[in-house]
Amino acid sequence: MAKYTHLTDADRLQIEHKLRHGTSIKKIAAMIGKHHSTVAREILSRCIESLKGAAGRLTNRCVHRRNCNRTQICMDRPDCTRRCSVCYRCNTVCLDFKEEVCPKLACPPYVCNGCHEESRCVLRKRYYVHNLAHANYRKLLVETRSGANISEDELLSLDQLVSPLIGNGQSVHHILANNPDCFDIHEKTVYRYIAGGLLRAKNGDMPRVCMLKPRARKPIEHKVDTKCRIGRTYADYQTFIATAPDTRTVEMDTVIGRVGGQAILTLMFPWCGLMLAFLRDRNDARSVSERFEWLWQVLGAQRFKAIFPLLLTDNGSEFSNPLAMELDPDGAPRSRVFYCDPRATNQKSRIERNHEFLRMVLPKGSSFDSLTQDALARVMSHINSYSRPSLEDKAPFDLFAFVYGVGTLESLGLRRVPANEITLKPSLLG
């Protein structure tokens, strides 16, 4: 039996092939020379869920569907007399809906590959597909090796000690040699952090480094948690929405001005079109978490949980500390964070389109360094007071205020701008 070796693409193809023919996990493990627990963990961790139904059968996954006699749940067709359990809308409109889970998925082989009832079953399914499993494995390998393996607090402490001493002409070796109790990282690691722009000190502050021939390398991307996407992918988001369809999603993104300068955090509410924007001194995870702590203090626990129950964002390093957004100061859950797939802007298209309004006032390529939060709030007040055809010519400000009150928007720095006074040009900022 091969120990301490990863499964190959051929191994995963063999697993899928044998599962389709009903082979047990122990026999599959013996065929590929692995322990049966390894194969079981591989199937459980890399299988995918599917909402595939059954040909010719209504897809109703409610546990009460066989004995339910309720009618007129949706109340949009007074002449309808048939039972709601035989309607395709039953699972989405019934408040008593409780999804039935196939008991076979709780025991080996944990997936629907090879199940004789798969073509007739309407319940949620789970499959093991070797090419998707291997792609997921390769992606995990890349993600676990990317970024700087250091937390923001540790990086800040390192910067406060190293950068001033380098500014005094000291070398990194001299600093580490004379402060051994303050460091648990290698000297070359500090040089990489400086070259990657993670510290205030630059290569130009070290004359000998400037004499060296620069090497072509990828920029170092600082991530607080390199495994932040685990359990928070777009597929996980879709699964969560399927179980809680009434939960409102808030799309989150960043608008960049000058690289290295101030950045803008945007929060978009697709259900009403309103977008919030907050200025940050730097584009990192700490500034995002600080902004959420500010929102928690301003809105209060109850309103924050009601307004931000679910966050959907991209894979930027500034969003790589999901726990800072998900947990309140006492460590209790207050929200959920999920990430879109890489380069899939269509998965949060509403906020991407809404950025066009912001770019009317702040054109692409302009610097935000002279911008203030009050000025940005004035810009967002004009944008959110602008009527939208998709909202039946209503303004996002009015729809949001109808649900949460004008006071909530005023506490966030927004005000209603009369329609004829709205300006969406750079002249708005003078």
pLDDT tens string 148-191: 677 777 788 888 889 999 988 888 888 888 887 777 788 888 88
Task: Quote the mean pLDDT of the chain.
Answer: 88
Eight-state DSSP code of residue 272: T
pLDDT tens string 199-246: 888 888 887 776 666 666 555 555 556 678 889 999 999 999 999 999
Supply the CATH number for residue 243's domain.
3.30.420.10
pLDDT tens string 317-358: 889 889 989 999 998 999 999 999 988 888 998 998 889 999
Report residue 337: phi and psi, to 5°: -120, 135
Q: Mean per-residue pLDDT for 242-257?
A: 92
- Smallest CA-to-CA distance from 43 within 8, 9, 19 is with 19
pLDDT reported for residue 212 = 62
Is position 78 within any domain?
no
Together in a domain, 57 and 174:
no
Count of domains observed in the chain: 3
pLDDT tens string 38-58: 999 999 999 999 989 888 888
pLDDT reported for residue 4 = 67
Together in a domain, 138 and 173:
no
- Smallest CA-to-CA distance from 354 within 272, 239, 248 is with 272
Using CA atoms, how far apart are residues 222 and 196, in angstroms rounded to an integer? 9
Q: Which two tokens stand for residue 263?
A: 């950045």
Structure-token match 């919030």, residue found: 276
pLDDT reported for residue 272 = 94
Together in a domain, 125 and 158:
no
Eight-state DSSP code of residue 42: H
- Smallest CA-to-CA distance from 420 within 383, 378, 386 is with 386
Torsion sign (Cα): 370, 375, 377, 379: negative
Is 24:108 a contact under the CB 8 Å cutoff?
yes
Domain of residue 123: give its range: 9-61+99-143
Q: In the chain, what percentage of residues exceed pLDDT 90?
A: 54
Together in a domain, 240 and 204:
no
Q: Point out the least confidently predicted range of 56-65, 205-214, 400-409, 413-422.
A: 205-214
Together in a domain, 425 and 366:
yes
pLDDT reported for residue 146 = 65
Q: Which two tokens stand for residue 142?
A: 């890349």
Using CA atoms, how far apart are residues 44 and 126, in angstroms rounded to an integer? 10
Report residue 165: phi and psi, to 5°: -70, -35
Together in a domain, 49 and 173:
no
Measure the CA dihedral 117/118/121/123, to 10°.
Answer: 130
Together in a domain, 111 and 175:
no
Is 250:267 a contact under the CB 8 Å cutoff?
yes
pTM of the full structure: 0.54
CA-based radius of gyration for the chain = 27
Together in a domain, 139 and 165:
no
DSSP strand pairing (48-50 vs 125-127): antiparallel
Together in a domain, 135 and 158:
no
DSSP strand pairing (249-256 vs 263-269): antiparallel
Torsion sign (Cα): 308, 310, 314, 316: positive
pLDDT tens string 258-315: 777 889 999 999 999 999 999 998 888 888 999 999 999 999 999 999 999 999 999 8
Together in a domain, 314 and 418:
yes
Together in a domain, 282 and 372:
yes
Using CA atoms, how far apart are residues 30 and 37, in angstroms rounded to an integer? 11
